[in-house]
Amino acid sequence: MIAFAGRSRHPESLASLSRGTSASLRDIASQAWWALKDNWLRSVLSVLGIAVGITAVMAVGTISKGGHYLVFSELETFGLKSVWVFRDRQDKDPHRAVRMGTGIDNDDYAVIRSGCCPAVKRVSPGIHDFGKRQIIRAGNRYSNASVEGVGSEYTIINNDTLVMGRSFRFEDEERRRPVAIIGPTPHADLFGAGQNPIGKEIRIGQQKYTVVGVLKAKSRGFLASIGSAGGQDANNRILIPYTLYQQQLGKKEINWLQAEAVSQDQADIAIAQISDTLKRRHGERFSYRGETMAQYIDTANRILQGVSLIGVVAASVSLLVGGLGIMNIMSTSVLERTREIGLRKAIGARRRDILLQFLAEAVFISTIGGVLGLLAGTLASYGLALATGFPLTPSMTMVAVALIVSIGVGVLSGYYPARRAAAMRPVAALRYE
């Protein structure tokens, strides 16, 4: 005869029956896992929905980070602490407005340079051709570079580095030496890109200059494309001592001063100190205006934030679609498995057990999708990092956000179907056809 493992049982109280009778999380998880495996195609599709959403989130993060690097690497080519001071031509005062001149002269430069302004670390005059364009040539080769007369500290202020030769020295401006530093474009135009031009002669107008240095190429493509590069090509420049340029042009004035503030925060103070000094020295005959790199940095940050916001909205929409996908398949699954739910309740599953099982299925889908999205997003950002040279690998914060968001989407989208399953009455569920 068959022996059943039946121990004799004494009637138990409800309290002792209820104690500890609910499934462990481990068992709930494995029940959920088997259910997902059983419907693997459906599971894979909804996993992909979430993976796409999380990839989008990662992409937004990487792209905004990349944009930040792009813009700042270009802004850096101006020197992040740079300020520019020049006469305010839109002066409302009719007496001042009619006066001729730039309002800045060599003595002003000497005073500011000698340390009148605590917020100013370095300063350089800036001279352009006053509309008298000079012909630039070396032998029979010509260049259309813009010529700037500058001070000896200009390259430091403007964050310019040299690939060949040397920068200006103070004696160059003091003694009006005929020396020139050329950008990569005039280097190619006048000598050929591979040639060493150091010590060679070029002519600007009637004046001969000896090339002493070659500037490194600067990338301002993005800023130029949004019209923020100051309207000129940073690579098509020739720098000469401002004193000699003044003499050649027959001028005694300086068009603008470019200075380096002691810090980015001090940029506005540096402008105020320079303007005040200039006003005082010219007996309030002119008024002045300044621009700081900080303004451009603010503008760039605002643009980047706007772009990121659009990206965040787009990524959220794709995550929402992924979440709705989970909600849809979980609702279908609950309906299809009504009898199973009834059976589980009949053999002792509580509301909580059923709720957690279906919630676990949704969270599995979204978490696996999240991990896949994370991998895809990371790969994409490495690709972009390789292509752009920016360090764009995802941060730990981004990884954490992606995982938390994907788990959250699973819980939110699984909760409603899971609750419906948990609330089913066992009799009705067992009778369901």
Partner 1 sequence: MIDLCGVSKSYRLGEVVLAVLKGVSLHIDAGEFVAIMGSSGSGKSTLLNVIGCLDTVDEGSYRLDDIAIESASEDELAALRNRRLGFVFQSFNLIPRINALRNVELPMIYHRVAPDERQRRAYAALKNVGLEDRAAHSPAKLSGGQQQRVAIARALINAPDIIIADEPTGSLDSASGHDIMYLFAQLHQQGKTIVMVTHENEIAAYAQRVIYLRDGVVEKDERR
**Residues making contact with partner 1 (CB under 8 A):** 1-9, 11-14, 17-18, 20-24, 27, 31, 34-35, 37-38, 339-340, 342-353, 425-427, 430
| Closest CB 11 distance from partner 1, rounded Å | 4
Q: DSSP characters for 378-414?
A: HHHHHHHHHHH-S--PPPHHHHHHHHHHHHHHHHHHH
| 238 close to 148: Cβ distance less than 8 angstroms | yes
CB atoms within 10 A of CB 37: 9
Backbone dihedral angles phi then psi of residue 215, each to the nearest 5 degrees? -80, 150
| Closest CB 3 distance from partner 1, rounded Å | 7
Q: Of 11 and 250, which has the nearer Cβ to partner 1?
A: 11
CA-CA distance, 118 to 276, in Å (whole number)? 13
| 68 close to 390: Cβ distance less than 8 angstroms | no
Q: Of 6 and 199, which has the nearer Cβ to partner 1?
A: 6
Six-digit token string for 144? 């259309």
The DSSP bridge partners found for residue 256 are 126
Backbone dihedral angles phi then psi of residue 256, each to the nearest 5 degrees? -155, 165
CA-CA distance, 88 to 289, in Å (whole number)? 5
CA-CA distance, 216 to 213, in Å (whole number)? 10
| 49 close to 327: Cβ distance less than 8 angstroms | no
| Closest CB 319 distance from partner 1, rounded Å | 30
Six-digit token string for 413? 């989208």
> How far apart are the two ends of the chain, measured CA to CA in Å?
38
Q: Of 349 and 398, which has the nearer Cβ to partner 1?
A: 349
| Closest CB 8 distance from partner 1, rounded Å | 8
Q: Of 302 and 431, which has the nearer Cβ to partner 1?
A: 431
| Closest CB 32 distance from partner 1, rounded Å | 12
| Closest CB 75 distance from partner 1, rounded Å | 60
| 244 close to 149: Cβ distance less than 8 angstroms | yes
| 253 close to 245: Cβ distance less than 8 angstroms | no
Q: Of 280 and 425, which has the nearer Cβ to partner 1?
A: 425
Q: Of 15 and 98, which has the nearer Cβ to partner 1?
A: 15
| Closest CB 366 distance from partner 1, rounded Å | 21
| Closest CB 6 distance from partner 1, rounded Å | 5
| 152 close to 170: Cβ distance less than 8 angstroms | yes
Q: Of 176 and 351, which has the nearer Cβ to partner 1?
A: 351
Q: Of 21 and 388, which has the nearer Cβ to partner 1?
A: 21
